[in-house]
Amino acid sequence: MAPLRFAVVVFPGTWSDHDCQYSLAAVAGQDARLVWHRETDLSAYDCVVLPGGFSYGDYLRTGAIARFSPVMEAVVRHAEAGKPVIGICNGFQVLCEAHLLPGALLRNESLQYRCQWVHLRVENTATPFTNLCEPGQVLRIPISHGEGRYFADAQTLDALEAQGRVAFRYCAPDGTVTPAANPNGSERNIAGIVNEIGNVLGMMPHPERACEPLMGGEDGLLLWRSAVEWAQVRA
């Protein structure tokens, strides 16, 4: 099968673009292109990646300015067509600001930036990015953010839980979800969620940084491989 075509969107201030492209192309063997935020057509791509960084310097609110970039209309069309979209870190923040995902990401409870490895329990294995994971599998992946505390009102949280839309939770190495394993004070230890039909995933941790043993781990590669598997099943 031909490699999957990934659009890695670059907003002004994005910095995980090269990491996403490298892990998708050089490590996972897929076709990954950097797409400048002024692009308005993403129809040539199978999958859209909104990478991490500080789009527009995180000024005003994280993701608040980037969501008005020209490319976002194409991202919305891509999502509405049921094709996979993943927002990582700042990309998650952009997806929330653009109302493609519910809730918001607030300043870490510690009020400090946090860069560290965390453990994630996979809560939903039916998404394009987690279908190769085992239910309850624990992934080891780094975070790097100052504003990653997931917040939504209780009603929204209950709905997310009821619909199985929590994709990842911060957990201890053995998979138990504990307050101590929560690095930023996220509601219910939520690290990633999907939209109603499950094709749009937002997550704070950086899977693209955990794709090679030399970088300290390769659990992140499971997400890219899942996306490929998902496309193959549907081809």
Partner 1 sequence: MPIDQPALDVIALSRSEYELIVEKLGREPNEVELGMFGALWSEHCGYKNSRPLLRLLPAEGPYVLTRRGEENAGAVDIGGGICVVMKIESHNHPSAIEPYQGAATGVGGIVRDIFAMGARPIALLDSLRFGPLAPGTHIPVAHGPSHEPARGGGPEPRPEVYAHNRYLFEGVVAGIGGYGNCLGIPTVGGEVVFEHAYSANPLVNAMCVGVAPADKLISAKAEGPGNTLMLAGADTGRDGIHGASGLASRTDPHARFEELRPAVQVGNPFLEKMLLEACLDLAHNHRDWITGIQDFGAAGLTSAAVESAARAGTGIVIDVAQIPRREEGMTPYEVMLSESQERMLIIVRKGHEPDVAALFERWEVPCAVIGHVTDDGTVRILDGDREVAALPVDILSEAPQYTREGEPAPELYDLQSLDLASLPDSASPGVGALLAAPGAGVGASLAAPGAGGQGAANEILLRLLASPNICSKRWVHRQYDQSVLSNTVEQAGSDAAVLRIKGTPYGIALTTDGNGRYCHVDPYRGGAIAVAEAARNVVCAGARPVAVTDCLNFGNPERPDVYFQMEAVIHGIADACNALGTPVISGNVSLYNETGGRAVYPTPVIGMLGLLDDVTQRCGMAFANDGDEVFLLGSLLEQPVASLAASEYLKEVHGLIGGRLEIDLALEARVQRAALAAIHQGIATACHDCSDGGLAVALAEMCLAGGRGLDAATAVLGARVDAALFGEAQSRIIVAVPPDRRQALAGIAQGMDLPFAYAGRVTPEPRLRLGPIDVSLDDMRDAYEGGLERALTS
Partner 2 sequence: MSTFLARVDITLKPTVNDPQGLTIRGALHSLGFKEVQSVRAGKYMEIRVEAATPEEAEARVTEMCRKLLANPVIEDYRFEIEEAK
Active site residues: 89, 206, 208
Q: Estimate to the nearest angstrom the gap between the alpha carbon of 229 and the chain centroid.
A: 18
How far apart CA 161 and CA 52 sit, in angstroms, is 25
Out of partner 2, partner 1, none, which partner does residue 68 contact, by CB within 5 to 8 A per kind? partner 2
Q: Shortest approach of partner 2 to residue 59 CB, angstroms?
A: 4
Q: Do the beta carbons of residue 221 and residue 228 sit within 8 Å?
A: no
Name which of 35 and 166 has its Cβ closer to partner 1. Answer: 35
Q: Shortest approach of partner 2 to residue 40 CB, angstroms?
A: 14
Question: Positive or negative, the Cα torsion across 45, 1, 209, 107?
Answer: positive
Name which of 37 and 209 has its Cβ closer to partner 2. Answer: 37
Name which of 68 and 113 has its Cβ closer to partner 2. Answer: 68
Per DSSP (E only), the strands in 53-156 are 85-88, 104-106, 114-122, 138-145, 149-151
Q: Which stretch binds partner 2 (CB under 8 A): 54-62, 154-162, 166-174, 187-195?
A: 54-62
The per-residue DSSP string of 128-189 comes to: TTTTTSPTT-EEEEEEEESS-EEE--HHHHHHHHHTT-EEEEEE-TTS---GGG-SS--GGG
- 209 contacts partner 1 (rule: CB under 8 A): yes
- 217 contacts partner 1 (rule: CB under 8 A): no
**Strand 200-203 to strand 85-88: parallel, antiparallel, or no bridges (unpaired)?**
parallel
- 226 contacts partner 1 (rule: CB under 8 A): no
Q: Do the beta carbons of residue 162 and residue 123 sit within 8 Å?
A: no
Site string (131-170) toward partner 1, x via CB under 8 A: -----------x-x-x------------------------
Residue whose C-alpha is closest to residue 225's, from 23, 36, 62: 23
- 68 contacts partner 2 (rule: CB under 8 A): yes
Q: Shortest approach of partner 2 to residue 28 CB, angstroms?
A: 34
Choose which of 57, 82, 136, 173 interacts with partner 2 (CB under 8 A). Answer: 57
How far apart CA 195 and CA 201 sit, in angstroms, is 7
Which residues form the interface with partner 1 (CB under 8 A)? Answer: 12-13, 15-16, 18-19, 22-23, 26, 52-54, 56-59, 112-116, 142, 144, 146, 206, 208-209, 211-212, 214-216
